């Protein structure tokens, strides 16, 4: 089987799905709004971790198609980037399913976009990482490096909430929970990111040892 061709097809299909899911959700979000309302809703839309992560996933799937030998293509194809993006996407799917799913019941096209963002794309990038990304090159410290994105994001949410009073998720709503409880929730979420990151590294190293054993057999 031509794995390089299979990878291109897989990434092409799900790059389209990823961009389409974000675009559909955004279009539905701003439909019928005034320009002022659109500006506010756009800021809110792109402040969701789900949206930012799905944009990263779409970029990670698209750039290798444009040119794996270009600097952006090499960046997106690197094992650390693909594993980190996979980790973020897996967390999106798990947090949505176990913490947020019960609080929202989208219908129609909203449901189509919701399934794409929270289920299809996390699974797609996970399979991409497991099947098409070289294994055995990650280090344990990479799990710590991947925490930079959620840390910066958490700071942005606290700043945005302090200025506007709007929070995208109930478990970081300072107005409702208080700063202490919110910070505790954020620490717990960061710890969860760390655990998932360490799991990703462990899987990578296990698959790498398996591949080296198979190659030497």
pLDDT tens sequence for the chain (217 residues): 556 889 999 999 999 999 999 999 999 999 999 999 999 999 999 999 999 999 999 999 999 888 777 888 888 889 999 999 999 999 999 999 988 888 888 899 999 999 999 999 999 999 999 999 988 999 999 999 999 999 999 999 999 999 999 999 888 999 999 999 999 999 999 999 999 999 999 999 998 887 666 555 5
CA distance linking residue 213 with residue 217, whole number of Å: 6
Nearest CA-CA partner of 24 in 117, 96, 89:
117
Q: What is the tally of structural domains in the chain? A: 1
Tokens 């993006």 sit on residue: 85
- pLDDT tens column, 127-137: 999 999 988 99
How many residues are given for the chain?
Answer: 217
- pLDDT tens column, 60-76: 999 988 877 788 888 88
- Which range of residues forms the domain containing residue 38? 3-216
Does the pTM of the predicted model rise above 0.95?
A: no
Looking at 68-178, list the stretches that DSSP marks H as alpha helix, in order from N- to C-terminal side.
71-77, 79-95, 108-115, 121-132, 140-145, 148-164, 174-177
Between the CA of residue 89 and those of 9, 26, 86, what are the distances in Å?
Answer: 20, 19, 5
- 86, 135 in Cβ contact below 8 A? no
């Amino acid at each position: 089987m031509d794995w390089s061709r299979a990878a291109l097809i897989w990434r092409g299909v799900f790059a389209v799905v990823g961009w389409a899911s974000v675009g559909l959700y955004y279009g539905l979000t701003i439909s019928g709004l005034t320009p002022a309302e659109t500006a506010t809703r756009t800021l809110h839309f792109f402040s969701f971790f789900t949206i930012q992560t799905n944009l990263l996933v779409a970029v990670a799937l698209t750039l290798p198609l444009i040119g794996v030998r270009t600097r952006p293509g090499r960046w997106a194809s690197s094992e650390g980037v693909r594993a980190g993006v996979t980790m973020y996407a897996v967390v999106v799917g798990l947090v949505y399913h176990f913490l947020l799913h019960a609080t929202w019941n989208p219908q129609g096209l909203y449901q189509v976009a919701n399934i794409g963002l929270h289920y299809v794309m996390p699974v797609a990038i996970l399979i991409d990482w497991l099947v098409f990304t070289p294994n055995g090159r990650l280090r344990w410290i990479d799990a710590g490096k991947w925490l930079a994105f959620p840390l910066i994001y958490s700071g942005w949410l606290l700043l945005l909430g302090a200025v506007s009073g709007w929070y995208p998720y109930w478990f970081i709503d300072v107005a409702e929970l208080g700063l202490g409880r919110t910070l505790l929730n954020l620490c717990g979420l960061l710890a969860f990111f760390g655990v998932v990151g360490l799991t990703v590294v462990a899987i990578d190293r296990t698959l790498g040892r398996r591949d080296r054993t198979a190659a030497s057999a």
